[in-house]
Structure 1
Amino acid sequence: MDATITPPKDDPWGVVNMIGQSAPVDCSKPYDTSTLAGKTILITGGASGFGAAFARHWARYGAHLIIGDVNDQAGEALIAELRSSSSTGSTPNQVFVYQHCDVTSWTDQLALFKTAISASPTRSLQAVVAGAGIVENSTGPAGSVFDEPRDFDAADPAQPPPPPPLRVLAVNLTGVMYTTHLALHYLSRKSTPSSSSSQSQKDHDRHILLISSIAGLSPLPGQTEYTTSKHAVMGLFRSIRGTAWSRNGVRVNALTPYFVETPIIPAAGKLLLAGAAKADLEDVVDAATRLMADEGVKGRALCIGPKMGVVDEGVEGEAGQGHTGKEWGWGGPGVRVVEGTGVEGERKQAVWEVYGHDYERVESWVWRFLAIVNVMREVNGWTGFVKDMLGICFGRRG
């Protein structure tokens, strides 16, 4: 691909313009959380971990939360907590509902979505978070059956192994695909007219937030099935963000958190991370809230990692290009990632853009392809016209 030839940004055939992808997210700028008020948000896997943290945070801003999970005790406790906090807050009429939902069951997920629609004050959904996820249970040094060869039948070495238990793929991928499919259907439905004009305006936003992982960007040894599933979620994100907005008016964004202290990390993983930097749950919540609240963000993915020192240099550089100094990561145009502390002008940042420029990178090829298609369409049009005229003149029968 010739990366030096790129169609102009205002080209109507430009892929970024076609899909409505927004500009890169500037994570250093504030965002308006008032847009969360009155939104009905469905969260799968919302009884603990990221989902529960999102629910607690968004409830403070007036959102209605519908939680689905298999951990009924934790889910009911969370709803009781949210209702108790809401009754003493500024928005006592908020809706909080928990329903048992195994995301690998289409019937369970369909029932959850129907419950959400029924419970919503506008009889509609404004956002869906595909948050349910599990990791592989470690049974040996390598953890995964794909990483640790075993003799399944010592008495008969020729005996083939049993099929692998693909529970992680079922939850992390099949479950997410079910959630996304249902979200596209129900998010596209119009709401019941509200007496509140402000609510009607907010109700226009539709959003799917996919939860991947750092394992969706890089390999995670010992967690092959988990890594595979999270790479697949990023594949889903990178594909569907190109059609969901243009066809359904639904924003699609994604999160790829680094290791965070949540119940999903197995004990072995926590031992390996002992003493190492981890991402903060508060930063994951902040990144998710930015994507949920900023209704102009479409087709972007944010990676959340340990806080790093950055310096805003005020230089317009090319994304991904290095700057001088002790830089070791990508900070975006005019941003230098630095090591250590005490650097003049340094600030801390934990949230970064990833996979933001996919469509710009393929734009040249797609632009040329579309140009060729248009030329051929025009040629075929004239050819067909000539053939039709000849047929008319010489009595050809259709």
Structure 2
Amino acid sequence: MATSSTGLSAYIEQSPPLDFSVPFEDTWVKDRTIVVTGGASGFGAGFVRRWAMNGAVMIVGDVNVEKGDALARAIRKETGRDGAAHFVYCDVTDWQSQVNLFKEAVRLSPHGGIDTVVANAGIQAKDRLQEPGDLSAAEPQAPSFATMDVNVTGVLYTTHLAYYWLPKNPGSKRCNMNSVPDQQRRDRNLVLLGSMASLAPIGAAPLYGASKHAVLGLFRSLRATSHMEGIRVNMVLPYFIDTAIVPPVAKLLLAGGGMGEVEDVVEAATRVVADTRIVGRGIVVGPKVAVKQDESGEFKLVTKGTEGSTETALWEPYADDWQEVDVFNRRIVRILNAVEQARGWAGWAADVVKLAGYRIFGLGKGRW
């Protein structure tokens, strides 16, 4: 994969837009220790099975003991490796439960470290935000925000712990877009699971949409500092995928429009986990369709088999946003820094005096 030597991509060490025709090998994950939250079913189970089959040591964290333990046992039997997969109970909304997961992962790791963390655990609980209930009641009952607890707080816990343990991974090096994946056994890699709801509104489920927007915001901030922490951060954003998390009513509404497949989500995640050259990229996974690029560079939907067409389920959103949005942010920060430097210590003292006046005399009441 070629790297850009100019522009902000070089500054923030974000690899170039993905070319899905560039091959990668599943076996690049061999000997890596990978932690997957919510790994007992759905996408998570798909990740665990595929990577374990290619030589990785999988640590499955989940609240579903029965499914998680059964999956780990089945994989150990299928691979013939006692250390291929391990189940560890984990409630991602509980800080200590996640700490225990990571500590156990390090203990079970053959090399005493963690190479990849996949913040996969997520739910879509019944959304009560727009349903206050009995309007004749004296006051509304407190709603349950379980979706935010799992999809935001849980992901933040996982991210915080990943940033503690990944740099401690023995034999690992800072992320490098020029690495040679089949020669780099140790890694420092965080993968976030977003959704198409990270990119577009989802009217019937505002809590879910808000939670996945939050994960996108986290990703875009983290990837801009990969060069500082040396951790590869990438994101997978599935469309509606045919799993249990999509309720029957949603599947009915989507009837005729096509849904994505778990295997394509696993394919996208495998690419960003296996290929150590990929830094700061996101992959949207949708229904598999045939497309053809026109003269303007736009992709148009065509009939399968059309000459010059490509069949794909993977797309990259915001492929070039670092050229505009992140450049703008960088310029604003530079301007603010320049203002601070121009004002100097005199400006700092003036602001401190003003702040003291606000606190002592109650000025600006209501703005604290």
What displacement does 1:181 show?
0.4
| Whole-angstrom CA distance in 1 between matches of 2:305 and 2:124 | 38
Letter in 1 for 2:317: V
Q: What pairs with 1:361-376 in structure 2 (closer than 5 Å)?
A: 361-366=324-329, 368-369=331-332
Letter in 2 for 1:121: P
Change (3 A) 1:238 1:368: closer
Q: What pairs with 1:122-133 in structure 2 (closer than 5 Å)?
A: 122-133=111-122
SS at 2:266's partner residue? helix
2:176 match: none
The answer to whether structure 1 residue 288 and structure 2 residue 281 are counterparts is: no
The answer to whether structure 1 residue 246 and structure 2 residue 239 are counterparts is: no
Task: Count residues in correspondence.
Answer: 334
What displacement does 1:190 show?
3.5
Contact 1:62 1:94 in 2 (8 A): no
What displacement does 1:371 show?
6.4
| Whole-angstrom CA distance in 1 between matches of 2:56 and 2:314 | 24
Letter in 1 for 2:203: P
2:248 match: 267
The answer to whether structure 1 residue 226 and structure 2 residue 208 are counterparts is: yes
What displacement does 1:368 show?
4.4
Identity %, equivalent residues: 41
SS at 2:245's partner residue? coil
What are structure 2's unaligned runs of at least 5 residues? 173-179, 345-368
Identify, as 1 or 2, the structure richer in helix: 2
| Whole-angstrom CA distance in 1 between matches of 2:214 and 2:8 | 22
Contact 1:134 1:171 in 2 (8 A): yes
The answer to whether structure 1 residue 210 and structure 2 residue 186 are counterparts is: no
Change (3 A) 1:79 1:359: same
Change (3 A) 1:18 1:71: same
What displacement does 1:173 show?
0.5
Letter in 1 for 2:88: Q
Q: Deviations over 1:301-324 (max 9, x none)?
A: 1000012222256x6xxxxxxx3x
Structure 1, 290-299 or 14-23: larger mean CA deviation = 14-23
Change (3 A) 1:119 1:361: same
**Alignment partner for residue 43 of structure 2, among 43, 50, 62?**
50
What are structure 1's unaligned runs of at least 5 residues? 1-8, 138-143, 316-322, 324-333, 382-398
| Whole-angstrom CA distance in 1 between matches of 2:133 and 2:171 | 58
**Alignment partner for residue 336 of structure 1, among 255, 276, 299?**
299
Contact 1:191 1:203 in 2 (8 A): no
Contact 1:183 1:208 in 2 (8 A): yes
| Whole-angstrom CA distance in 2 between matches of 1:210 and 1:38 | 22
**Structure 1 residue runs of 4 or more that deviate by more than 6 Å after TM superposition:** 373-381
Q: Deviations over 1:87-142 (max 9, x none)?
A: 1xxxx3643110111000000000000000000011000000001011022xxxxx
| Whole-angstrom CA distance in 1 between matches of 2:93 and 2:334 | 43
Q: What pairs with 1:296-307 in structure 2 (closer than 5 Å)?
A: 296-307=277-288
Q: TM-score, normalised by structure 1?
A: 0.77
Change (3 A) 1:268 1:367: closer
What displacement does 1:46 show?
0.2
| Whole-angstrom CA distance in 2 between matches of 1:10 and 1:208 | 24
| Whole-angstrom CA distance in 2 between matches of 1:176 and 1:371 | 31
1:163 match: 142
The answer to whether structure 1 residue 358 and structure 2 residue 321 are counterparts is: yes
The answer to whether structure 1 residue 77 and structure 2 residue 70 are counterparts is: yes
Mark the structure with the bigger radius of gyration. 1
SS at 1:188's partner residue? helix
Change (3 A) 1:201 1:26: closer
Letter in 2 for 1:106: W
SS at 1:355's partner residue? coil
Letter in 2 for 1:281: V
**Alignment partner for residue 98 of structure 1, among 52, 77, 87?**
87
1:173 match: 152
